Chain A
Amino acid sequence: MPELMNHVDFRAALEEAIKGKSANKAPFSIAWASGKLSRPHLARWAENHYHYVGPFADYLAYIYARMPERYTEAKDFLLANMYEEEIGGDRHTDLLIRFAESCGTTRERVVDPDNMSPTTRGLQSWCYSVAMREDPIVAVAGLVVGLESQVPSIYRKQTPTLRDKYKFTDEEVEFFDLHIVSDEIHGERGYQIVLEHANTVELQQRCLKICEIGAQMRLLYTTALYWDYVAKDIPIEELEAIERKAA
C-alpha cells in the first residue's frame, strides 16, 4: 500500500513519473535534434502545436473556476499564469505564429483547426477533459506539472539546434526562448500547488498517475507528427540509426 509522502519524496516521485515516457525519444524529436527536418516539417509542427498550447489559458481558466475558494494562493498562481500566457508581454501564440511564418506557413493556416492532426485534436481534448473533470489539484498536476513544467528542458535543447543547424534568427525562435523563463515560473508554481494540496495518499497517487498519462499523451502527439508529416521523407531506419549511434 502506498503511504503519504513528504514534499521532497513526492516531488521526486512526480519528476520520475514525468520522465517515464519522455517525448525526447520520439522519432520526430530525434529528427528535430539531429537537424534532419525541413522548414515545411517544422511548419506542420507549428500548425499542430498552436492547437495544443494555444488554449492553455482556457485549460487553466476551467481549473481556476473549480479550485476551492480557500486555496487563495493556488488561484492567484493560476490567474498569474493565464495573464502571463496571454497579455503579460507578447502573446505567446503570436511568437509561435512568427516562428511558423518563418517556416513558410501563414497565420491563417496556423489558427485554422482543420490543419491539426487527429492526434493533436486528441491531445487538446484530453487537456480540456482534465481541466474540466479532474479534481483541480490533480488537473494542475497533469497540465502544469506534467506538461508545462517540461517545456524549459525541452526548449533548452531545441533552441540552439534551431539557431545552429536550421539557421533561424534570434527573433524567429523567440517563442522557444521565452518559455525557458516563463514556463519555469509556471511549472514551479504548479509544483507548489500540488505539493501543498495533494495531502492524502489517494490524491498523491492520482497526481502521479496523471503525470504518467500526460507524458504518454505528449509522446503520442510527438510520435504522430513523425508518421503524419515526416515519415514519407525520412525513413524510420535512418532515425533509429542516429539514436543507436547516440546511445
Chain B
Amino acid sequence: MPHVILHRGDKTFEGEVSENTNLVVKAGIRQFPFPNLRYGCGMGKCARCACRVVKGAEHLPEPNWKEKKQLGDERLNEGFRLVCQLWLFNDIELDQPTMPLLPLARTPVDALGRAITEDKTNGTSPATE
C-alpha cells in the first residue's frame, strides 16, 4: 500500500492508498487526500493539481504529453508533476504550492470559466483566470 505524504503550506497530511490509485480520483470521491489536495479539471489541462515530487519520483513513469505541454521542461526539471495524470504504486512525498501553477497552454475561457471553442469566440479576447 503506497504511503502518501502531502505538504501544503505549513501543513502536512499523510495517508495510505491502494496500489494503482490516482489521488485526484480519491479526492474527487472525498477520500484521502480530500480536502487537502487542490485539483481542478481532472484532465491535465488546468494544472491546479500540480505538485513537486519531494521523494519517490524514481517510481513514476515519464511525464506524458499533457504534463509536457502544461508544465514545460523547466517545471518538470524542478520536479513538478500533474497529480491527475499519476497512478501510484509506491510511496510518494508531494509538495503542493500554496498558489496553483498556471498551465503553459491555456484554453480560452469565458467569464464563467467555460472553454471557448474557436467558432464561439466571435473575435473577442478570451477571459483570463
* A interface residues with partner B (beta carbon < 8 Å): 73, 80, 84, 86-91, 94, 107, 170, 174, 177-178, 181-182, 184-185, 188-189, 192
Contact = CB atoms under 8 A, between A and B. Distances in A.
B42 A185 contact: yes
Interface stretch (B53-61, B109-117, B121-129): B109-117
Interface residues of B, number: 24
Contacts of A86: 114
Contacts of A91: 114-115, 117
A108 to B, nearest CB: 11
B112 A87 contact: yes
Contact of B113 (A87, A170, A189): A87
B86 to A, nearest CB: 10
Interface stretch (B8-16, B20-28, B73-81, B88-96): B20-28
Nearest to A179: B43
Nearest to A89: B41
A88 B25 contact: no
Given A80-B28, A89-B42, 11 more contacts: A84-B41, A87-B113, A87-B115, A88-B42, A89-B41, A89-B46, A94-B115, A177-B44, A178-B43, A185-B29, A189-B28
Q: Is the contact region of chain A dominated by helix, strand, or loop, or is it mixed?
A: helix
A80 B27 CA distance: 13
Interface of B: 22, 24-25, 28-30, 40-46, 65-66, 84-85, 107, 112-115, 117, 119
A9 B95 CA distance: 38
Nearest to B46: A89
B21 to A, nearest CB: 10
Contact of A188 (B28, B43, B45, B107): B28
A181 B22 contact: yes
Contacts of A188: 25, 28-29
A182 B42 contact: yes
Nearest to B45: A89
A37 B119 CA distance: 30
Nearest to A87: B114
Contacts of B24: 181, 185
Contacts of B30: 73
Contacts of A87: 112-115
A88 B40 contact: yes
A116 to B, nearest CB: 22
Closest 3 CB pairs of A and B: A89-B41, A185-B28, A178-B43
